[in-house]
Amino acid sequence: MDREYSRPLDVPAMARAALMSPAHFSRQFRAAYGETPYSYLMTRRIERAKALLRRGDLSVTDVCMAVGCTSLGSFSARFTELVGESPSAYRARDHAELAAIPACWAKLVTRPSRNGEAQVSPVS
């Protein structure tokens, strides 16, 4: 899912590859990652969307489609839920503070999270 985030989620296919039933796979996935396969995939999509929106050269609709979402409304709602602001507001905001941060650290700092559990506080 990390690499193929723009493709549709196919839990039955992933379960077959893991030699599990879809229900058992979903339970085991949640136990291992703390969220359902769909939530995990959407987090990856929003994470990638944030990076594309920071570039500023794509519209919100283009970003929505680029990360594999087919509904702009659902994408915007999930983005707002995880990030705390709409995709348009996020795109319009100045992201210069992230320019000097290595990409691997910026990814940790900006990782979307519904409950804030994955957020890393920047070191002062």
| All structural domains of the chain with their residue ranges | 11-109
pTM: 0.75
Q: How far is CA 102 from CA 75, 99, 107, 109, 120, in A?
A: 27, 8, 9, 11, 14
For residue 71, pLDDT over 60 is answered with yes
pLDDT for 18 equals 92
- Of all residues in the chain, the percent with pLDDT exceeding 90 is 47
Question: Selecting from 3.90.1150.10, 3.40.50.300, 1.10.1740.10, 1.10.10.60, what CATH number does the domain 11-109 have?
Answer: 1.10.10.60
When the pLDDT of each residue in the chain is averaged and rounded to a whole number, the result is: 83
| Confidence category of residue 123, pLDDT binned at 50, 70, 90 | very low
What does the pLDDT look like over 13-59, one tens digit per residue? 999 999 999 999 999 999 998 999 998 999 899 999 998 998 888 99
Which residue shows structure tokens 């549709």? Answer: 8
